[in-house]
Amino acid sequence: MEMTQESRRTASERRRRELLEAADRVVLRDGPEASMNAIAAEAGITKPILYRHFGDKGGLYRALAVRHTDALLAGLRAALDSPVPRRDRVEATLDTYLAAIEARPQVYRFLMHPSDEGQTGDRGFDVGRHSAPLLRRLGEELAQVIAERVDLGPAGGELARVWGHGIVGMMHAAGDWWLREQPCSRAQLVQHLADLLWGRLAAAGDRPGGPGF
Identify whether the C-beta of residue 119 lies closer than 8 Å to the C-beta of residue 33.
yes
- Give the Cα separation of 19 and 10 in Å (integer): 14
Length of the chain: 213
Instruction: Specify the 3-state DSSP secondary structure of 199.
Output: coil
Identify whether the C-beta of residue 164 lies closer than 8 Å to the C-beta of residue 150.
no
Q: What is the mean pLDDT of residues 43-69?
A: 86
Q: How would residue 112 be classed by pLDDT, with cut points 50, 70 and 90?
A: confident
Identify whether the C-beta of residue 26 lies closer than 8 Å to the C-beta of residue 40.
no
Q: What is the mean pLDDT of residues 186-194?
A: 95
- Give the Cα separation of 151 and 171 in Å (integer): 23
pLDDT tens digit sequence for 11-32? 778 888 899 999 999 998 988 8
Q: How far apart are the first and last CA of the chain?
A: 55
pLDDT at 184 over 90: yes
- Closest by alpha carbon to 177, among 112, 128, 89, 80? 112
- Give the Cα separation of 183 and 180 in Å (integer): 9
pTM higher than 0.85, yes or no? Answer: no
Identify whether the C-beta of residue 213 lies closer than 8 Å to the C-beta of residue 150.
yes
Q: What are the structural domains of the chain? A: 64-206 (1.10.357.10)
- Give the Cα separation of 173 and 112 in Å (integer): 11
pLDDT at 98 over 90: yes
Identify whether the C-beta of residue 211 lies closer than 8 Å to the C-beta of residue 150.
no
CA angle, corner 163, sides to 195 and 68, nearest 5?
90
